[in-house]
Amino acid sequence: MKILVALKRVVDYQVRVQVKPDGSGVAIDGVKMSINPFDEIALEEALRIRDAGKAEEVIAVTIGPQQAMQQLDSGLAMGANRGILVKTDKAIQPLTAARVLAQLVEKEQPGLVLLGKQAIDDDCNQTPQMLAALLDRPQATFASKVEIDGQSATVTREVDAGLETLSVDLPAVISTDLRLNTPRFIKLPDIMKAKSKPREVIELDSLGVESGDHLSYTRYEPPAQRQKGEMVADVPALVAALQAKGLI
């Protein structure tokens, strides 16, 4: 079995981004870029599945500018077998990403597609679901545990009510939540070993996917300043305070 993992290049989670003064976007010039943390968890899971002998190959895919090759390099140094960069200088919206991934799935025929439940830049939480729909294959989102058993996968999901476990037939799309695993650190010798791993660059335009924007952004604003907190003595006081604010 092959596993396809999608990695998105995003502003590093430790960077506190600032909205540009004119509200046209977020200032990201010169800030540190990394693999989207949820995608890193997806890659870690794929590597563990492969290393447990349940898959032969892990293919890391990223859609982005030439610089996204850095994130692909990191993915290969973590342990992916080969990498594909679908190159574009445009900001990619979820539906386009899902269409591109669907094409790669057609080509590579993986038994499993693993990707983060959302990217920490736009927090859309849409690509995995759209991809599953386009492929007409089962999906299991927000996974906190994944077990591969032959032709199916048992997935524990983090849902509002707690945990839900379901079984999906493979090939399937699984999106990962934070508690699934702790990704490994890259080892220095593996950075060198990764240099000889295959990397394929495909121009997005050459795929012929429909890539028009479906969402338009009007204005960016920083979140409102947090109001000063207030300590209350006990639970009844808390309830009273919430009621006074009309919150319950």
Options 21, 22, 30, 229; binder of other proteins; rule CB under 8 A: 30
Which x/- pattern over 173-202 shows residues binding other proteins (rule: CB under 8 A)?
Answer: ------------xxxxxxxx--x-------
Give me the least distance between CB of 40 and other proteins, in Å please. Answer: 11
Which of the ranges 66-74, 159-167, 201-209, 213-221 carries the binding residues for other proteins, by CB under 8 A?
Answer: 66-74
Please identify, using beta-carbon distances, which residue of 82 and 199 lies nearer to other proteins.
Answer: 199
Give me the least distance between CB of 30 and other proteins, in Å please. Answer: 7
Give me the least distance between CB of 114 and other proteins, in Å please. Answer: 22
Note whether 107 binds other proteins by CB under 8 A: no
Please identify, using beta-carbon distances, which residue of 28 and 209 lies nearer to other proteins.
Answer: 28
Please provide the DSSP assignment of the chain as one string.
Answer: -EEEEE--EEE-TT---EE-TTSSSEE-TT--EEE-HHHHHHHHHHHHHHHTTS-SEEEEEEEE-GGGHHHHHHHHHHT-SEEEEEE-SSPPPHHHHHHHHHHHHHHH--SEEEEES--TTT----HHHHHHHHHT--EEEEEEEEEEETTEEEEEEEETTEEEEEEEESSEEEEE-GGG--PPPPPHHHHHHGGGS-EEEEEGGGGT-----S-------PPPPPPPP---SSHHHHHHHHHHTT--
Residues 75-94 that bind other proteins (CB under 8 A): 77
Q: Which residues bind other proteins (CB under 8 A)?
A: 12, 14-16, 18, 30-32, 70, 73-74, 77, 185-192, 195
